Amino acid sequence: MLKEVVVMIKKKYGVVGHPIGHTLSPFIHKRLMELSGIDGEYGVYDVAPDELDERFKDTLSALDGFNVTIPHKQAIIHLMNSTDETAKLYGSVNTVHITRLNDREYTSKGYTTDGIGFLSALKTAGISLQGNVTIAGCGGVGRVFANTCAKEGCKLNILETAASLEAAEKFAEELNKRFGSEIASVYETACFDGESDLFINATPVGMYPNVNNCVVGDKIIEKSKAVFDAVYNPAQTLLVSKAKGMGIKALSGMTMLVYQAAAAQTIWNGSQFDNKDIEQLAEDCYKELACR
């Protein structure tokens, strides 16, 4: 009597960005898949902006899912068959789920888990999301932060360089219309002199290898009650280091990175994780970073 043989196919995931050599995503997702008993692999895809459409069709769409990082979080949207409500609201996608219909056909759906990761990271650090929030940058992740803060009832100061003020002002208009009040104001970074309950860096400034750069001057940091830097490499950016030196509670982006990765695994595989496992993984990521 012949026995039925069940062949388990290894799931394939990855992250796409440019440049992307610094990414910890494979380390994080390997651990998350181990914790949830998923047999899978996770690759890294360095794709230049002008190659994104082609690489999506010939490579990325063959995966079971993938994460999206700078500079593709907005550019990837037009390649999706659909997006969830949060991704539509934020105008940003950082997680894509591919559903295979047959050998040749598939559907793609875009999500953003940055908001979940952001809120979870602040809660873990004991940082309240309230009052006046100042955000440097309004790109993909900056839009997520701004919408998340607005939903929590915060007032927003959006800081941009002179060259990007027009785009920032359009985004602020969208926020004010969406939330039905004048919650968002735009300032040129060099001219801002206000106080903040929370200052957020939503730009790559300070990221390795440019570790001696800080997105704002000391006066803005001094007038902030708490600081969150989305950058996670290095483990402590110049912004975070300065804030801590001033006695200000400050958090880098590593915990957010792990929480948003866990949320991606939930989308792909329905996995659930204990907060203690997530926090331990964030600590292990810092150790992994130090060895590179």
Residue type, 270: G
The Cα 148–Cα 157 span in angstroms is 14
The Cα 36–Cα 13 span in angstroms is 15
Structural contact between residues 112 and 92, judged by C-beta atoms closer than 8 angstroms = yes
Structural contact between residues 127 and 228, judged by C-beta atoms closer than 8 angstroms = yes
Instruction: Assign residue 180 a region (left: φ > 0; alpha: ψ between -120 and 50; beta: otherwise).
Output: left
Which residue of the set 73, 109, 155, 242 is catalytic? 73
Nearest CA to 84 out of 93, 75, 74, 73 is that of 93
Structural contact between residues 169 and 186, judged by C-beta atoms closer than 8 angstroms = yes
Sign of the dihedral through C-alpha 236, 95, 74, 21: positive
Nearest CA to 121 out of 24, 288, 264, 251 is that of 251
Query: For 181, phi and psi rounded to 5 degrees?
Result: -160, 170
The Cα 64–Cα 248 span in angstroms is 42
Q: In what helix (H) or strand (E) does residue 134 lie, and over which residues does it extend?
A: strand 132-136
Nearest CA to 41 out of 49, 51, 53, 33 is that of 33
Burial class (CB in 10 A: 0-12, 13-18, 19+), 136: buried
Instruction: Confirm whether 73 is a catalytic residue.
Output: yes
Whose tokens are 């940091």? That residue is 221
* Residue numbers annotated as active site: 73
